[in-house]
Structure 1
């Protein structure tokens, strides 16, 4: 895919266009695919039927609410696809169930939405439903995560370079610990998801040839409880003294690992070093407190870029296939300088 890098707010001005003279009606509907009630807001412009037709109806299929990062991402999307910006948003969170998410997308197609935005739970299994959207002439924008389906089946994608995040984390680990024998355990993200696959590949490539040895690697499903549970198992199997380093694919799993390490009577960040990815507020605070040693950012504020892409695609404008938002990385001192000003 062709890469184009964007700053976090590069498209905010375009995405924040508002519609004058609007009135709103809010109601609750039930998602046939999940049985969950969803609040929907319909926006009508004061200019009558012609102006009302300018409202863009978008179905957004979110992965779930598994982490602080995901919550911040959802808030960003809901703010960007607001009635003030000319949208009616139909929101579905799949609770990290790929089948439920695909069912929700089919429901969007049946409702005849103008566009669909998906943060795919996993990469595989999307070919059929994306083809159905294409046959219905409903454009699809991917955000955050990618799919293995043909690029012809979606219009564009905006998100982060997960492999580069893994490389950044791995390069720091190699610099700090690569010259000494280091036993590492990994807390993987959701099995089959793009960030889990790519972060693992990037980190592994960066530590190749060092003295860092991966002694175990299991999924914690990007959740704090999952990270804690897996870390408890690692400590039971290897003991605190048998683990030198934890690489967690996101902050929440790293925070769960902290709980497990402390419960075992050890000091996170000292007895066992921790590297994570995300840089959400709780993770950054743990870094400032010395319980995490290094964090690579994964910026969740993708709403403005996604909304801008939807408008461009519906207007028939040419867009690139991929837009990457650049990430930062933080040690303890860098985190302390910015934590109070960060929006997530």
Structure 2
């Protein structure tokens, strides 16, 4: 009996020691700045914080993108720290540094231009805060500085606009171009895509090209200057709807009819542009979907769960003209 009692006592002690060893792992901690370790279910943490550095509020498209992210954060119960860059890269960089100091779990960045981000993104990488780019790409020497880019195919948007215009103008005519923000990915890519198609039509020429900085006011101002320099303009290609709407105002004030005397094609597909197409003041708008919130948070949660995401997630876009804009308006969300 004494021998059995001794054996039982030894087994109990061994079990206790094993229990203590097993508890040792649960005592370790993971920094909130580090990607969450993958669990058995691969689930992201239920509570996390995102810092969102937005370019500004220069257009209806940009406002729609911001609202999409804010609405989705609220829907998912995510803490969102928002910073408006007011069209200044230096303010966006300051915001990213602030998010790093606040130890957010993920950073969303809608970069104003393609270059100049590498130093601050290296700071984020050093403390294991993943960065997700929204709508615009960047140029860096190390693409591990960001996890993924949610965007549209800006080059293809330029091609779509040019193909529509070439068909409408029967491959002949002079065009003025309202470019987006100098150095930004959409401005560079939309110009490239448009030029690629126009190279196939030697009788179609871009006679003037200048930045309108993606705003209605600047688009109007540049178009006024274009009209004074050349009253024979036949078409306008604007890199976004807001500049096209500003150009339409300038055309009206010059005594011409936008959409009739001068053809206008643009990019974004916002509600106001589709209304203008329905009213005959614009002719075509190629869509660029700004509702990136759901996709951005899906990507964030996969990353926080330790899962891989595609380096580039591209939205599928369509175009609207006089034959389709009115039908699309009732269901348009932006």
- Taking only aligned residues, the RMSD between alpha carbons, in angstroms, comes to 1.0
- Residue of structure 2 in register with 1:28 after alignment: none
1:114 corresponds to 2:121? no
Q: Does residue 51 of structure 2 align to residue 63 of structure 1?
A: no
**What is the match of residue 209 of structure 1?**
200
Map Cα deviations across residues 275-294 of structure 1 (whole Å, 9 max, x no partner).
01011011000111111111
Q: Report the CA distance between 1:179 and its aligned residue.
A: 2.9
Equivalent position of 1:287 in the other structure = 277
- C-alpha spacing 1:93/1:209, structure 2 compared with 1 (3 Å): same
Shift of 1:178: 4.5
Question: Residue 186 of structure 1 is aligned with which of 177, 189, 199?
Answer: 177
- Show the counterpart of 1:264: 254
Find the counterpart in structure 1 of residue 155 from structure 2. Answer: 163
Question: Residue in 1 aligned with 2:42?
Answer: none
Q: Are 1:247 and 2:237 counterparts?
A: yes
Checking the alignment, whether the CA contact within 8 Å between 1:178 and 1:212 is kept in structure 2 is: no
CA drift at 1:303: 0.3
**Of 121, 126, 129, which residue of structure 2 is paired with 1:135?**
126
For the residues of structure 1 that align with 2:287 and 2:319, how far apart are their CA atoms? 6
Corresponding pairs, count: 288
TM-score, with structure 1 as normaliser:
0.82
In structure 2, the residue matched to 1:339 is 329
Q: Which has the larger radius of gyration?
A: 2
Measure the CA separation in 2 of the matches of 1:143 and 1:136.
21
Q: Which has the higher strand share?
A: 1
Which runs of 5 or more residues in structure 2 are unaligned? Answer: 1-44
- Corresponding residue for 1:101? 92
Contact 1:81 1:89 in 2 (8 A): yes
Give the whole-Å Cα distance in 2 for the aligned partners of 1:217 and 1:99. 27
Could you list the structure 1 runs, at least 4 aligned residues long, displaced by more than 4 angstroms after superposition: none
| Structure-1 separation of matches of 2:269 and 2:46 | 37
Offset from partner CA, 1:152-177 (integer Å, 9 cap, x none): 11111111111111111111112222
Residues 244 and 272, structure 1, Cα contact 8 Å, conserved in 2: yes
Indicate the SS of the match to 1:101.
Answer: helix
> Does the CA-based 8 Å contact 1:140-1:156 persist in structure 2?
yes
Gaps of 5+ in 1: 1-52
**Maintained 8 Å contact 1:178/1:207:** no
**Secondary structure, in 3 states, of the residue corresponding to 1:171?**
helix
Residues 250 and 278, structure 1, Cα contact 8 Å, conserved in 2? yes
TM (norm. structure 2) is 0.85
